[in-house]
């Protein structure tokens, strides 16, 4: 089985990071379709909404390493919040 993924045209360049560590660049206003093996995942990043110094300058997308570091920090924060929510109050013996 596979999952069909379609990225519709965006205002800015988008990057699809695949589970195997590869990445696909999508130009602005380009529709992109691909199939992912069932059970796999991907992350999509776009430069849309970034403030640019020069409106005609194409922003430099983050490297795969920079993106992975940001995602790791995001998921670590989510895990910390989930752990805090499930922590039981500590009992203090009398």
Q: Provide the pLDDT for residue 83.
A: 86
Q: Provide the pLDDT for residue 84.
A: 84
**Cα radius of gyration (the chain):** 19
Q: Provide the pLDDT for residue 53.
A: 47
**pTM metric for this prediction:** 0.51
pLDDT < 50 stretches in the chain = 53
Four-way CATH pick for 2-49+59-85: 2.60.40, 2.40.50, 2.60.120, 3.30.910: 2.60.120
Say which DSSP state 17 is in: E
Q: Cβ(34)–Cβ(24) under 8 Å?
A: yes
Q: Provide the pLDDT for residue 56.
A: 53
User: Looking at 23-79, which runs of residues are DSSP E strands?
Assistant: 23-26, 32-37, 42-46
């Amino acid at each position: 089985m596979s999952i069909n993924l379609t990225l519709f045209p965006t205002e800015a360049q988008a990057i699809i990071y695949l589970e195997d560590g590869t990445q696909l660049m999508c130009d602005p206003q380009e529709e992109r379709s691909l199939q992912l093996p069932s059970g796999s995942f991907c992350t999509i990043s776009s430069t849309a909404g970034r403030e640019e110094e020069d409106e005609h300058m194409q922003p430099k997308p983050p490297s795969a390493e920079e993106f992975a570091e940001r995602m790791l920090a995001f998921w670590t924060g989510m895990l910390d919040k989930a752990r805090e929510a499930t922590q039981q109050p500590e009992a203090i013996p009398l």
